[in-house]
Structure 1
Amino acid sequence: MPVRDGQVATTRFAALRHEITKPTLSFLMEAHDGISAKIVEEAGFRGIWASGLTISASLGLRDSNEASWTQVLDVLEYMADASTLPILVDGDTGHGNFNNVRRFVRKLCERGIAGVCIEDKLFPKTNSFLGEAQPLADIDEFCGRIKAGKDSQTDPDFTLVARVEALISGRGMDEAITRAEAYHRAGADAILIHSKKASADEIFRFAEIWANRAPLIIVPTMYYATPTDLFRQAGISTIIWANHLLRSSITAMRQTAAAIQEDESLMRVEGSVATVKDIFQLVGNAELEEAERRYLPAPPAVGAVVLAAGGELGGLPADQPKCMVDIRGQSLLKRLTGTLRECGVQDVTVVRGYRKEAVALPGVAMVDNDRFAETGEAWSLACARNAIRGETVVAYGDVLFRRYILDSLLTSSADVVVAVDAVASVQPWAGKRDLVMADRRYSGDYLDDEPAMLRRMNQYIPASEVAGEWMGLARFSARGTAWLQEEIAALEAEGLLEQADMPLLLTRLAARHPVRVKYFTGHWLDVDTMTDLAEARNVT
């Protein structure tokens, strides 16, 4: 609920009425869409001015009733949803005669819009700062619009503000006062007196004659240099900062667009614009995540087995396991498990072997392969067979990869899917152990979504038949893990498990069941050498 002077207002209608009628000066800040409404609230303002000029301009339209009142309602609905603040909408002339006004007011009330300001000009209107001596509405006819609006409000605290254009159209002070008095008698809750002079003298003169007969609202766009304390002394109720968020955004967008066009790069602007994270925070992504946890059934937990029983990295002390080498302040294993957890894989089991006492991470289960020196990767995987249940990711312990790669595997509909680096045309394959042959090579066409299936994986595949290199990362569905358990058991029964590696295990699996190949192009690293270690900073 909106807050007013430390107390909770029962409705946004009541909150706006309080802001306009309280004895101290209030401020309304312009907004023109949902994101700007959020920014107004974030800045600490107590109310929003939904400007007709800036809403129109944000739609690429002139402030001449080119945006229909139903289009304006759509924008207002987004603004009301985005912010808890009360909104006073610039209703132009009411979008027609008394009949349009009463329908407009009812629709505003339905959407929780706390008030409307209508001006005593003719429909369609022209912005007040364009031209001279714009024609004004007949006083009695405009009073009819006010009465129709007040009779149509569905909340007693809905606020109708009558905007007097006599000064801005050159009619003089006497007519401005006459019109304001008539509008007040017709039921207007407040008067907005408008001026386009650079000095606020006529505003102060009007306020002196008006003598607080009803709350007085001003828009100091043209006489912005006037100290705000003078408005307080004059008894002004509310100041509207009418268009400055849109104007500042235009300046910023022009500068950013020009810089990118000139540089053909984002380097100059990236540090000076809001981050994508800022956008997520502003629009409330965290609330959605919390709501998903509350309302959606919990997805089955995804586990992972990380094969990290291998030895040291050449060039580093022999007592340091390769998976524990430092990558920019964190061990390789910590970075790998961190990526897994970022993707929602929380239940991680690490198979360790070489210098196992040095391999430890909080919250990560450890399984030991004490025969690491004489056995292969399939044996290490079998050591963790109790962790292979439900959906499971299997990863080498010495690889790094960008998060999107694992996200892609986790969202695959395949029961078994392996990540394959497809830069076959430029990759020197000599010495690579995990070469992949598939029934379809990577086409390079992002529209090509035909699945590729694994045929074989080993180091002896002819270069002409290589489709890529396995990245040491695979995902198995619940059914896929059952297949994997069966294949491990079959290797064991045949006496092959101790020496089998992952390429052999996956090749055998592909001979019995479909194993999907998911192609990527880079953005991963197998840390085998000191050169790899130096390059790892570009992957993390």
Structure 2
Amino acid sequence: MTRKTTQFRNLLNSDRLEFILEAHNGISAKIVEEAGFKGIWGSGLSLSAQYGVRDNNEASWTQVLDMLEFMSDATTIPILLDGDTGYGNFNNMQRLVRKLEQRDIAAVCIEDKLFPKTNSFIKGTAQPLADIEEFCGKIKAGKDAQGDDDFSIVARVEAFIAGWGLKEAMRRAEAYRKAGADAILMHSALSVPDEILAFKKEWGDRLPVVIVPTKYYATPTDQFREAGISIAIWANHMIRTAIASMQKNAATLMAEESLMAIEDSIAPVKEIFRLQGAAELQEAEKRYLPKRGKAVRAVILAASRGKELGELTEKRPKAMVPVSGQPLLAHVVDGYNSVGVKDITVVRGYAKETVNLSNIDYADNDNFESTGELASLSCALKSLASEDAGKELVVSYGDVLFKKHILQLLLESHADFSIVVDTNWSESVNKGRFADYVQCSRPYGRDAFGQEISLTEMSEHLPEKRTHGEWTGFLKVSSDHRLLLDKLVESLTAANPDARMSDLLNALVANGERVRVIYTTGYWLDIDTLEDVVLAGNLF
């Protein structure tokens, strides 16, 4: 790849008008590059503003360097730093250039004012300019210090800002050229480009000319092209965009007291992850981290609305009902993450646009109203990549909370099919809850310790004398039996679109498959009622 210094030098010497855009941190720099710009302006105003301080050298030069390092690491295009006055005399300038090169910064622009600087648009005519010879010394020192021949020093002339006119602007620009400057940035505070165009006409092509049209923004860009301008800098517009958006949304949130008021108009969290390069880290983890335990893919069925919760699910599914400040589904995902299961697919249906947690995959059952749980599972299975075929599969529901030991016991099972059964099944009967009751090869008890217990039958209407427990909604399938699962789910849903998970488990037993039962007592909660929502909140 072409060095950043060479990239910037090519922009300066281009036979066409080039544009660079302001950025003030790593993520804004990456956005600038993704937009297609060939270079970045490290604005002194914006870098100061993102720290919350004034553009008067209140942010130290080392703080500026720290932020530039993040910006440079995040991008592949050159950065031109707005280096104010060079942060001191010739000695500071030399150290600055060396430190910029260490961080792969392509160029620095210094202005002929006194340290500490004041922004050019704040009482510009009252600001004294630097002595020409002293400023030329800075330029020479910077050029002597650079190790890369293509590193550029842009000399910013403030004569028009200070009200000294064209003659002084020409005198200073020529002195800076002779001192070794690679380009001249001519600045103006007028709302029209008259001063800039007059300078360029007089200056000709002695050195490339850079402009900052912040004040004369209404000027047609073709005028700059016709004048032979080298680079136009959009100097502070990224941070101004950010400020306007943040102010608007902060005011809306304060007034509305609801995230729904802005959620559709802001970037999703997954876009932040994308800009941060989260996917690259995940790929690197696969290459470099030791394999810990088995590879597992989780499927969480969360397509239903949950009408029993009334108004709470009027505009969102049950899985997104808030519990202690975050959606119910987020607690379920956290439970999986706590035992190392990171590859998760959630099946959406009702109000699917509201199911938008980050860092998980989605499959959609758009026919959720007319189909059952197995149809949702089928949607998930069809969405999985080929690499998932070698992983064990855990299936559960988006409205079932659990202690992590339940999932740990399930993951430790070596059986082809495993389920978790709660021995405290009578509680559901007493409360009149819907439940999937199970009969097992032997009931829970001391003599069951160390024995392989398997499922015999599952039904919501199982006689009490044959009932050994209540299914918690967890099923694990070994990687070797994933193909069998896929075929069985497909055949069952084809025969009955409304088929449930209990139909799948009974079909496995009928086909002669052994479904291992892991007993537990409590420590899980199926959210069926408003009372359950309150109870879940107390748990967290």
Give the structure-1-normalised TM-score.
0.64
Greater shift, 49-58 or 128-137, is seen at 128-137
By how many angstroms is 1:281 displaced? 2.4
Aligned partners of 2:237 and 2:366: how far apart in 1? 53
Query: Does residue 1:18 correspond to 2:10, yes or no?
Result: yes
Letter in 2 for 1:290: E
By how many angstroms is 1:333 displaced? 2.2
Q: Give unpaired runs (5+ residues) of structure 1.
A: 2-9, 307-323, 349-389, 436-457, 460-467, 479-496, 525-540
Structure 1 pair 98/304, CA: closer, same or farther in 2 (3 Å)? closer
Q: 8 Å contact 2:296–2:394 — kept in the other structure?
A: no
Q: 8 Å contact 1:162–1:188 — kept in the other structure?
A: yes
By how many angstroms is 1:204 displaced? 0.7
Structure 1 pair 201/334, CA: closer, same or farther in 2 (3 Å)? same
Residues 276-331 of structure 1, C-alpha deviation per residue, up to 9 Å, x if partnerless? 2222222222222332333334553337899xxxxxxxxxxxxxxxxx99525876
**CA RMSD, 1 decimal:** 4.3
Aligned partners of 2:523 and 2:476: how far apart in 1? 11
Structure 1 pair 413/138, CA: closer, same or farther in 2 (3 Å)? farther
Q: 8 Å contact 1:409–1:474 — kept in the other structure?
A: no
Q: 8 Å contact 1:118–1:162 — kept in the other structure?
A: yes
Aligned partners of 1:45 and 1:158: how far apart in 2? 19
Q: Which residue of 2 aligns with 1:264?
A: 257
Q: Which residue of 2 aligns with 1:195?
A: 188
Query: Does residue 1:401 correspond to 2:390, yes or no?
Result: no
Q: 8 Å contact 1:164–1:176 — kept in the other structure?
A: yes
Greater shift, 208-217 or 425-434, is seen at 425-434
Letter in 2 for 1:327: F
Aligned partners of 2:135 and 2:434: how far apart in 1? 84
1:221 counterpart (204, 214, 218): 214
1:301 counterpart (292, 295, 298): 295
Q: Which residue of 2 aligns with 1:506?
A: 518
Letter in 1 for 2:432: A
By how many angstroms is 1:227 displaced? 0.9
How do 1:459-538 and structure 2 match up within 5 A? Answer: 471-473=472-474, 505-507=517-519, 519=524, 522=527
1:153 counterpart (123, 146, 159): 146
By how many angstroms is 1:39 displaced? 1.0
Structure 1 pair 44/303, CA: closer, same or farther in 2 (3 Å)? closer
Q: 8 Å contact 1:303–1:346 — kept in the other structure?
A: no
Query: Does residue 1:236 correspond to 2:229, yes or no?
Result: yes
Secondary structure of 2:196's partner? Answer: helix
Q: Which residue of 2 aligns with 1:72?
A: 64
Q: Which residue of 2 aligns with 1:429?
A: 431
Q: Which residue of 1 aligns with 2:27?
A: 35
Query: Does residue 1:84 correspond to 2:76, yes or no?
Result: yes
Secondary structure of 1:271's partner? Answer: helix
Structure 1 pair 339/170, CA: closer, same or farther in 2 (3 Å)? same
Aligned partners of 1:345 and 1:475: how far apart in 2? 19
Letter in 1 for 2:204: A
1:120 counterpart (112, 125, 149): 112
Letter in 1 for 2:159: A
Aligned partners of 1:472 and 1:206: how far apart in 2? 77
Q: 8 Å contact 1:165–1:194 — kept in the other structure?
A: yes
Query: Does residue 1:186 correspond to 2:179, yes or no?
Result: yes
Higher helix share: 2
Q: Give unpaired runs (5+ residues) of structure 2.
A: 301-364, 414-418, 438-457, 461-468, 480-508, 530-540
Q: Which residue of 2 aligns with 1:528?
A: none
Aligned partners of 2:375 and 2:106: how far apart in 1? 53
Q: 8 Å contact 2:161–2:189 — kept in the other structure?
A: yes
Residues 182-233 of structure 1, C-alpha deviation per residue, up to 9 Å, x if partnerless? 1111110000010101111011111111111100000000011111111111
By how many angstroms is 1:413 displaced? 11
Secondary structure of 1:213's partner? Answer: coil
By how many angstroms is 1:392 displaced? 5.8
Structure 1 pair 473/97, CA: closer, same or farther in 2 (3 Å)? same
Give the structure-2-normalised TM-score.
0.64
Q: 8 Å contact 2:42–2:68 — kept in the other structure?
A: yes
Letter in 1 for 2:474: L
